[in-house]
Amino acid sequence: MVWNWQQPDWPDFVWSQDKLAPFETRFIENAGVLIGVSKHLPVDDRNALRIELMSHEAVDTSAIEGEPLDRDSVQSSIRRHLGLAGDRRRASPAEAGIAEMMVDLYEQAAQPLTEETLLRWHRWIANGRTDLTDIGRYRTHADPMQIVSGAAHAPKVHFEAPPSAALPAEMARFWAWLARTAPDGEAPLPAVARAGLAHLWFESIHPFEDGNGRIGRAISEKILAQGLATPAITGMAGTLLRHRKAYYAKLERAHRDLEITDWLLWFAAKTLEAQQNTLSQIEFVIEKARLMTRLRGAINERQERALLRLFAAGPEGFKGGLSAANYMTITGAPSATTTRDLSGLVELGALAKTGANKATRYHLVLAA
C-alpha cells in the first residue's frame, strides 16, 4: 500500500473548489443565523449555552476515540476554568485536560493556530497519562506509527504515518501552508475547504504518540471559526460521533490519494449538519428561558430541579422520558408528592404525559 505521504506530489492535494462552493456559501449563511439567534439570549443564558456546547464537544470528541467521560464533571471543570461558580465535582485527569483544551480552543478561537498552542493542547489531552513517552512534543519513537484493528496475530493496517524522523520537515510544511492559506495570508482558502484539508493533512502526519484525532478535530473547529467575521462554534464532534463509522472510512480512503474532493464534500456536508445541530441547541436554550420565565412563581423547588434536569439532557431529550422513579431520584420526593408534582407540571403545560401505570413517562412541552 502506498499512502498519500509516500506519493511523489505530496503534499500537493487537489480538489474541485467549484463542487465545494455551494457548501461554503451555506456555511457562511448558517453561521450568520447562529450568531443572530444567539444574540437574543440573555447574557447568563448565552454563557450557559457556551459551556454546554464546549462540554458536549469535549465528551463527544473523546467518545469518538472510545474514551467515555462524565459530561457533568467536564462541564464543572469548564466552569472552573472560566472562573464561574459551580459544584465541586471532582474531574478525572482526562476530563480536566479536555475541558482545559476546549476553553482554550473557544476562548482563543480568533487567534492564529501556532505550534505552541498545539503542543499545549497535547499536554492537556495527555493529562495523567503515564504510558506515553512524548507528551507536549512530537513523537520520537522508531516504531512505525500505524492505525490497526483486528487480532494481534493478524492485524489490519488502516494507515501508516510518516516516520518520527520526518516530522520536523512535515510539520514545517504544514505550518507554512496554514499561514499562507489563513484569511489574511498570501493565498487564503475558504473556511470549509481549509478546515477539511487541515484535518486530513494533520491526521496523515499523525505527529503525536496519541491524541491526534482529538487535536485534529480541534484544528478544524478553530479554522472554521477563523473563517467567519464573528467566530462561532460549529460543534463538529457530535456530528462526527453520530457518523463515526463513515468518518473513519472516509479518512482511510483519503489517506490513499492526493485527490480529495470526495473527502472534502463529505466533510462539508457534516459541517452544515453540525451547524443545524448547534442551532437546535440554541433554540432549545431560548425555549428553556421562555418556559422557566412563564412558570416563575408557579412551581416549587422540586419541580424546578426536575425541569432543569430534563433541559440538561439537551434537544434529544431525557432518554426514554421522565418516569416517576426518575423524578424521585432527582428530587428526593416521596411517591405521593411525586404524583402531585408531576400532575401539576402537566396541568401547567410544562410536561406532556404518555403511557400508563409503570410505563407512564413525561416529556417537555416546548413551542414548535
Nearest to 117 by CA among 15, 223, 191: 223
pLDDT computed for residue 366 by the predictor:
82
Residue 262 maps to which CATH number?
A: 1.10.3290.10
Q: Identify whether residues 73 and 173 lie together within a single domain.
A: yes
Interatomic CA distance for residues 132 and 211, integer angstroms: 11
pLDDT at 368 over 70: no
Interatomic CA distance for residues 22 and 189, integer angstroms: 15
pLDDT computed for residue 242 by the predictor:
96
Interatomic CA distance for residues 4 and 266, integer angstroms: 18
DSSP class of 362: E
Q: Identify whether residues 16 and 147 lie together within a single domain.
A: yes
Phi-psi region of 286 (alpha: psi -120 to 50; beta: other; left: phi over 0): alpha
Q: What is the pTM of this model?
A: 0.89
pLDDT computed for residue 49 by the predictor:
84
Of 283, 317, 347, the residue at which a domain comes to its end is 283
Span 296-309, mean pLDDT?
Answer: 94
Domain span at residue 329 reads 299-364
* Residue 347: Cβ within 10 Å count: 10
* Cell matching residue 341: 408534582
* Cell matching residue 120: 499545549
pLDDT at 13 over 70: yes
Residue 90 confidence class, pLDDT cut points 50, 70, 90: confident
61-70, 216-225, 313-322: which range is least confident on average?
313-322
Residue with more model confidence, 39 or 73: 73
Residue 290 in domain: no
- In three-state secondary structure terms, 148 is strand
Which residue shows C-alpha cell 439570549?
41
Q: Identify whether residues 168 and 303 lie together within a single domain.
A: no
Span 98-126, mean pLDDT?
Answer: 95
pLDDT at 339 over 90: yes
Residue 250 in domain: yes
Interatomic CA distance for residues 63 and 196, integer angstroms: 20
pLDDT computed for residue 86 by the predictor:
67
pLDDT computed for residue 117 by the predictor:
97
Residue with more model confidence, 311 or 65: 65
Cis peptide preceding 11, ω within 30 of 0 = yes
Residue 324 maps to which CATH number?
A: 1.10.10.10
Contact 205/174 with Cβ under 8 angstroms?
yes
Quick one: CA dihedral 78, 314, 224, 200, positive or negative? positive
Q: Identify whether residues 269 and 309 lie together within a single domain.
A: no
DSSP letter string, 102-130: HHHHHHTTTSPP-HHHHHHHHHHHTTT--
Q: Identify whether residues 202 and 234 lie together within a single domain.
A: yes
pLDDT by residue (tens digit) across 43-88? Answer: 887 888 888 889 999 999 999 999 999 988 999 999 988 888 766 7
pLDDT computed for residue 209 by the predictor:
95
Q: Identify whether residues 272 and 342 lie together within a single domain.
A: no
Residue 342 confidence class, pLDDT cut points 50, 70, 90: very high
The total domain count for the chain is 2
